[in-house]
Amino acid sequence: MAPQPLATPPLPPEPARARAVFSTEDFSLLRTAVAHYLWAVQDAPDLPKFGNLYHRLGRIGG
């Protein structure tokens, strides 16, 4: 009797392509909202973090 060839396990399906969560317009809206927060709450202890976020959103949104 000839040995049976080993069955290869099926390959897992390829993962779905990553889709963007936010559009360019969303970044613009978020940046506007953060700018409003920065203006309205000028004495918040986390103000520098929001300032950095504002600038990062500007780089991403174009």
Query: Mind listing the pLDDT tens digit of every residue in the chain (62 residues)?
Result: 677 777 788 888 888 888 888 888 999 999 999 999 999 998 889 999 999 999 999 888 66
DSSP-based three-state secondary structure for 27: helix
d(CA 25, CA 32): 11
- Secondary element (H or E) of residue 45: none
What six digits make up the tokens of 15? Answer: 């993962």
Residues 6 or more apart in contact with residue 53 via CB below 8 angstroms = 34
Which residue in this structure is represented by tokens 């290869």?
8
d(CA 37, CA 46): 11
pTM of the model: 0.64
